[in-house]
Every structure is written in C-alpha cells, then in structure tokens.
Amino acid sequence: MKLRLYGGFGEKGRTSLGIESASTRLIIDVGINTNAPRDADWERAYNPAISPADLVAADALIITHAHEDHLGGLGWCLRHGFRGRILMTAETRADMPACLRDYAEPTDAALALAAPISLIVPGEAFAVGDLTITTGRNGHVVGGVWCLVTGEGQRVLYCGDVVPKSSVFAYDAPPPADVVLFDASYGDDDVPPAARAEAVVDWVAAHPRCLLPVPLSGRSLELLALLPPLALAPGLRDALEAQIADARWLWPGLQAGLAGKLEEAVNWSEGESWPDRPLLTHDAMGLGGPAADHLPRAARDGLPILFTGHVPAASPAHAIRQAGQADWLRLPTHPTWSENLAIVTASGARLGLGHSCDRSGLVAMACRLPTLDPEARTGDLITL
C-alpha cells in the first residue's frame, strides 16, 4: 500500500490522508486550515493538498467527524472532481451543515450538502474495493471515529482526533496495526488532563462572569460537565441536547447527569446584558457563529474571556489574546504524550506518523519514540 499525505503533516489543520492499494484509492478526512492567511494563495493553503487528478481517481472518502479541520474541504473536493462514495456516521452527517456554514465557501457547502452520504456504524466493518475498514468511537465528539484500513497484508490505523480519557465521550481502544497515524496535536505535552481541567475550573471560579468560546460539538459538552451552571448563546442548547441524546457515544451512566446540567443552564439572547454566569458561545476562534460578534464585544466591554483550545494565528481570537484581552488554558480534547505513547505501543506498529503538529513538536516526540518519523510532510508519498 501507499500513503499520500494530503494535509496536517508537519502542520496544524487541513488533516487529510490518502491510502492506496493496487486497485483502490481511499481518502480519509478533508479538513481546512484556519491558520491560512487571506492572501492570493489562500485557497491553496486553506484546503487539502490534493490534486484534481487524485480527486477524480479516488473511490471513496471517509469523514471521521464534523470539525472543520477534518470536514471543511468536502465541497471543495467535489468542485475539483471527486465523484466517489462519501462515508460518515449519521451523527457526523447531522453536524455537517453547521460546520460547512462557518468554514466552507457557500457554493462548496451547497455541493457537500447535496451529495449522497453512505452511513457507517462504529464496530461494523465495510469494504472499499480491496480495502477493509473498521472504525471505533474516538472519545473526541459524538459521531467521531478512528479508522483501521486493511489491505495487501498491511494494517494502517488512522486515529484522526482521539481522546482516550475523555470525561464524557466513550472511546474504543484501536486494534493492532503495522502503521499508525496518531493525533499529535499537543506534541510532547504531558500535563495530566485532570490538572488542566482543574486550572479551567479555578479560572472560571475567579471570573464568574466570563465568555467561553467553544466548538458546537465536543468541548462544549466537556465544559458543560465540568463547570457550574452556564449561560448558552443561541444555537448551543440544541447542539448540547443532540450530543446528550444518544447514550451510545457517552460513557455509561453519564446521560442523566448531563441532561440535568443542561436543564440548569439558561439561554442568553443577542442584545442582552452579559449574564451573571459563564457564557458559552461558538465558534471557539471567532471565525464564525455568534462568537464572531461576541468576542469583539466582550473585549470592548472588558468581560473576561478564556480560550480553551487551538487559537489559529489568522483568527480574531488570536488578535484578542495578543492584545492582552483574553486568557488561554488548554482543556484537553486530544491525547497527551503518555496517551499517544500508549496508543502507538499497544498497536505494535513498526512506523508512526504524527498529524496535526508542527515539526518541532514531532522532533521532540521522536526523541522518545524511535518508530516515529518526524520528517513526514504534507505532500509526501510513502510506500509501505
């Protein structure tokens, strides 16, 4: 088999992988890069590095979950020639419109929303040509999966985004593999998730009236579970209800408690004074959703702001933070170094490739993981 690194290798964002056998070509994820500056070269840097010829030749495309750095380029791929099967979970399909609304060009979003979707169910194997794909819950978001691709005597595990020890989302440990492409978003950071969560709780306790930008899915539910009663910007209650609704994606026994936490939350509407409690708004970077208006308003009003995830250099969130008008504390929604080491070790893989991480982070990890190739880059072709 061959691997084509279409995005997210040696860089953060536009995560995309091609897997190729003698007779089948598969793409997994087609994310966009929110770090891309709005210049003449923006479209090339924003979307996956996939040629029209590769898109035309592809038999199928799997989307692991509905976050922009894994899904946002779907319509762009269709516009540039992809005509194969599109596969994702039912939950990812339900979340797709909101993601594309904020991150895709309108014509590209329309193409993606009109395309037929084949549904996959975690744990149920399916075939694309001579490749067999097995998926499992990734612990990152409702509907999110990792993928094991088997063919020509090789097993390739693409983790996508995973959280082995999420406080709310269930995670299925992946099976053994010969090659593992793991979620290196945090590099060699090994601060325990519980310590990170405690720091966020303490910050909110010290700033009971504050703004907390979040993605619609994933970290929004993590914060609902973690924090005292919240206020919710328009759109978030529906998103949280949808995440809580299907207990199959949650750790056992959590559904009722999460539903109770949501009942304690109050709705907040545009034009009202800032609430007397922490306010969740989306998206997390100020690039779209209500946060595009709420972040500059909060900065003008001196309302404390806390970012808890990735802050792209090209985003309003970055400008506000650089101006000293917001704080940042990571709430883990990706693996720590120890968690990644455990995934790679358990896989038994002879080769590891980290995605969603720059070169310096990969080099730091490679010092303690000899099977990791820190030099793999977007655009590379790897023959297994």
Distance CA 147, CA 153 (A): 16
CB neighbour list of residue 165: distance below 8 Å, 6 or more residues apart? 139, 171, 193, 339
Beta bridge mates, 281: 213
At residue 291, φ and ψ (nearest 5 deg) are: -60, -25
Residue ranges matching CATH 3.60.15.10 in the chain: 2-188+333-383
* Distance, CA of 331 to chain centre: 14
Residue ranges matching CATH 3.40.50.10890 in the chain: 193-328
Distance CA 179, CA 210 (A): 44
Structure tokens that stand for 22 in this block: 């003698």
Q: What is the pLDDT of residue 40?
A: 64
Structure tokens that stand for 306 in this block: 């806390």
Q: What is the pLDDT of residue 109?
A: 96
Give the pLDDT of the chain (384 residues) as one tens digit per residue: 999 999 999 998 899 999 999 999 999 999 999 888 777 688 888 999 999 999 999 999 999 999 999 999 999 999 999 999 999 999 999 999 999 998 999 999 999 999 999 999 999 999 999 999 999 999 999 999 999 999 999 999 999 999 999 999 999 999 999 999 999 999 999 999 999 999 999 999 999 999 999 999 999 999 999 999 999 999 999 999 999 999 999 999 999 999 999 999 999 998 899 999 999 999 999 998 999 999 999 999 999 999 999 998 889 999 999 999 999 999 999 999 999 999 999 999 999 999 999 999 999 999 889 999 999 999 999 999
Distance CA 151, CA 166 (A): 31
**Can you give the pTM of this predicted structure?**
0.95
Structure tokens that stand for 199 in this block: 């720091």
Contact 11, 358 (CB under 8 A): yes
Distance CA 291, CA 284 (A): 7
Q: What is the pLDDT of residue 188?
A: 92
At residue 306, φ and ψ (nearest 5 deg) are: -130, 120
Angle at 283 between CA 282 and CA 289, to 5 degrees: 75
Distance CA 269, CA 347 (A): 48
> What b-and-e string marks burial along 133-147, b requiring 16 or more CB atoms within 10 Å of the CB?
bbbbbbbbbbbbbbb
Fold that domain 193-328 belongs to in CATH: Rossmann fold (3.40.50)
Q: Please name the helix (run of DSSP H) or strand (run of DSSP E) that holds residue 61, with its range, or none.
A: strand 60-62
At the second CATH level, the architecture of 2-188+333-383 is 4-Layer Sandwich (3.60)
